[in-house]
Chains A and B, each alone.
Chain A
Amino acid sequence: GAGVSQTPSNKVTEKGKYVELRCDPISGHTALYWYRQSLGQGPEFLIYFQGTGAADDSGLPNDRFFAVRPEGSVSTLKIQRTERGDSAVYLCATKGGGANVLTFGAGSRLTVL
């Protein structure tokens, strides 16, 4: 696609529920990143994929968070047993084609009640 597509754009869930957030990267971009942006803050790194493998997941806050990219394209960020503190905008960004800069999606806004 022309840009990074993220779905859903908004997700409201109840504490304790499981959520999945999807990222469709720019076609051909091999590097994919997830960032989390809390209200009034800059984005914070969560995880980085190069192809299918998670090259660095050091930013994931705890083991309730997990991300996959099984075919090296679409990625899914999975959050188990959601907590109110998980409420944030989850941004996906991709890089490729020789460019050294990230292109961000519009984000998925997660609200945990």
Chain B
Amino acid sequence: GQQLNQSPQSMFIQEGEDVSMNCTSSSIFNTWLWYKQDPGEGPVLLIALYKAGELTSNGRLTAQFGITRKDSFLNISASIPSDVGIYFCAGLSGAGSYQLTFGKGTKLSVIP
């Protein structure tokens, strides 16, 4: 089946630093999504990307849909303590597709 390789698995950063994480796939996706999951909660959508090359921002978050449609990255600028959590990339493979494929997540820790 399809797999998403997400890196890094975890990161420890100082408050105020910028963060970058990415996802790659062996196959093409038509939609890339980035979610954040806090302990004891379900994933919450941060950013959705629908077109190859698309660059989208949501506050301090910026994500891009790779030109090859096989990768995406998420950047967080000027990190704050509440950015702590697990970030997941997810992809949808085709028109009308409904089955999300998730990466394994990047666990972010922010040191005040």
Contacts and interface: CB of A to CB of B under 8 A. Distances in A.
User: Which of B42, B45, B48, B100 has the most CB atoms of chain A within a 10 A radius of its CB?
Assistant: B42
Contacts of B63: none
Contacts of A48: 98-99
Range class of the A interface residue count: 20 to 34
A4 B105 CA distance: 22
Interface residues of B, number: 21
Interface of A: 4, 31, 33, 35, 40-45, 48, 55-56, 59, 91, 93, 95, 100-107
B41 A106 contact: yes
Contacts, number: 52
Contacts of A40: 104-105
A46 B53 CA distance: 31
5 contacts: A93-B42, A100-B31, A101-B33, A102-B45, A103-B45
